[in-house]
Amino acid sequence: MVAIGYCRVSTEGQAEDGVSLDAQRAKLEAWAALNDEPELLVFVDAGLSGSSMAQRPGLKDALDAACKKKAVLVVFSLSRLARSTKDTLAISDRLSKAGAELVSLSERIDTTSASGKMIFRLLAVLNEFERDQVSERTMSAMAHMRKTGRRISRFAPYGWDFDAAGELLVVNRAEQRVLQRMRKFRSEGMTLRQIAAALNERGVPTKQGGEGGWSPKVVRSLLLRPPNK
């Protein structure tokens, strides 16, 4: 009987855990040999995030093959399979309805048993909970850095510059005056397009120093930003 393997890496994923495609494939092949699987077909998504199932052709092909052959789909970890509980459970349900199964090596999940199915569902929820916590901590840290005027990106926001050390934000008074003028134009009833045109006509440079680069989209983003941010 054939087994189906699936591997995925993205730039972000490789940086975080260092689990390369070769390392994942080696684990899948070791599992196949240990379980006397005569054939292992491995599908790969390289350089793709796990945020959208629809954008991962390797996963689609792996699922199609596993369902068609009523085979076991083997992955290195649930994080390689999907990034949300909804998608993970949807994959499990599809495999189950087709008479196929799922094995995740890192979590030691094997849905051929009732206990394996239960553990799988619990871990899927816990994995999403952990990702949500990381996201919350990241957002909180960035908010604190922004509040204290510390650097959080490669470029300083319009109206600000970096200090000599490149760590703290300092006021760019010329750009702050432009922001004030933009708010005044808006309060007088000018449209975003009219404001952009007025800035271009006056030769007001953008953050990158170029003239004629103002657009309604850029104006809107700056007007939506709270004052002094």
Name beta bridge partners: 110: 103
In-domain check, residue 201: yes
Q: Provide the pLDDT for residue 111.
A: 79
Residues of the chain with pLDDT below 50 are 13, 15-16, 141-142, 145
Least Cα distance to 13 among 47, 60, 63 occurs for 47
In-domain check, residue 12: yes
Least Cα distance to 204 among 171, 228, 181, 225 occurs for 181
In-domain check, residue 146: no
Least Cα distance to 94 among 65, 51, 123 occurs for 65
pLDDT in tens, 195-220: 999 999 988 988 876 667 889 998 99
Does residue 123 sit in the same domain as residue 169? no
Instruction: Identify the helix (H) or strand (E) that includes residue 75.
Output: strand 72-75
Of 10, 20, 49, 84, the catalytic one is: 10
CATH number at residue 60: 3.40.50.1390
Does residue 126 sit in the same domain as residue 23? yes
Does residue 199 sit in the same domain as residue 120? no
In-domain check, residue 154: no
Does residue 119 sit in the same domain as residue 20? yes
**Residue 176 CA from chain centroid, whole number:** 33
- State which of 86, 121, 136 marks the end of a domain: 136
CA distance 220 to 117: 49
Determine the structural domain holding residue 89 and report its residue range: 2-136
Does residue 51 sit in the same domain as residue 113? yes
Does residue 51 sit in the same domain as residue 110? yes
Does residue 28 sit in the same domain as residue 124? yes
Does residue 21 sit in the same domain as residue 54? yes
pTM of the full structure: 0.51
Quick one: tokens of 129?
A: 């909970």
In-domain check, residue 151: no
Average predicted confidence (pLDDT) for the chain: 80
Does residue 174 sit in the same domain as residue 77? no
pLDDT in tens, 183-194: 999 999 999 999
pLDDT-above-90 percentage for the chain: 31
Quick one: tokens of 203?
A: 């030769």
Determine how many CB atoms are found less than 10 A away from the CB of residue 171: 12
Does residue 33 sit in the same domain as residue 106? yes
In-domain check, residue 149: no
Q: Provide the pLDDT for residue 146.
A: 53
Does residue 6 sit in the same domain as residue 103? yes
* Residue 10 is among the residues annotated as catalytic for this protein: yes
Does residue 78 sit in the same domain as residue 130? yes
Number of domains in the chain: 2
DSSP string, 96-141: HHTT-EEEETTTTEETTSHHHHHHHHHHHHHHHHHHHHHHHHHHHH
In-domain check, residue 153: no
CA distance 142 to 148: 10
